[in-house]
Chain A
Amino acid sequence: MTTPDVKIYSLSTCGHCKATKRFLSECNIVYDFVDVDLLEGEERSAILADVRNLNPNCSFPTIQIGGKVIVGFREDEIKEALGLK
């Protein structure tokens, strides 16, 4: 089974975002991420539009795993979306 693409919309300062990244690394999952607080101007606006599209609350981390969207570091939901349980 192939692992779905994983993308994290995160903040560089956020504990839940750090925990999510750490957890995925521990599971040997390759992921892409963008720390939205480090972006400026149009780049930030464009990414925020993407986040709102996935999660109207626009909170962090917003995690996209294949076609699924998980809001917050919810370990069980992440595992399930990755097919780890």
Chain B
Amino acid sequence: MNAETLQAQLSKIHEPKGYYFNTDKILVSDLLEALLTNKERYGYMVCPCRLASGDRKKDQDIICPCVYRTEDVAEFGSCYCNLYVSKDWNEGTIKHDFVPERRPVALQF
């Protein structure tokens, strides 16, 4: 599996739900590669922008797409990593604000 194949597979699942890949191709390619690295490292595609514990149960909420994506895309137009974004984000009709960490500290590693 390479990043390109992964992107093609994931787009089919997520685009119909309104989650698009960022048009920043380098960022997306880096993040998809990182997801594949994490799949190899931990056995599951955990968020590349967060520190995983390596325990699947503890990391459940941050397995990509994380459970915070819905609220983050609704509020900021982008997930925490800027991997999945809304149409408005890609079209530049909304401000590209920094997406703060929404995951409660208590759930971290």
Contacts and interface: CB of A to CB of B under 8 A. Distances in A.
Interface in A32-70: 36-37, 48, 56-60
Given A13-B37, A72-B98, A60 B30 contact: no
Interface of A: 11, 13-19, 36-37, 48, 56-60, 72-74
Contacts, number: 49
Contacts of B11: none
Given A16-B49, A17-B49, A60-B49, 15 more contacts: A11-B48, A11-B49, A11-B51, A13-B34, A13-B37, A15-B34, A15-B48, A37-B51, A48-B109, A57-B101, A57-B105, A58-B51, A58-B108, A60-B50, A72-B98
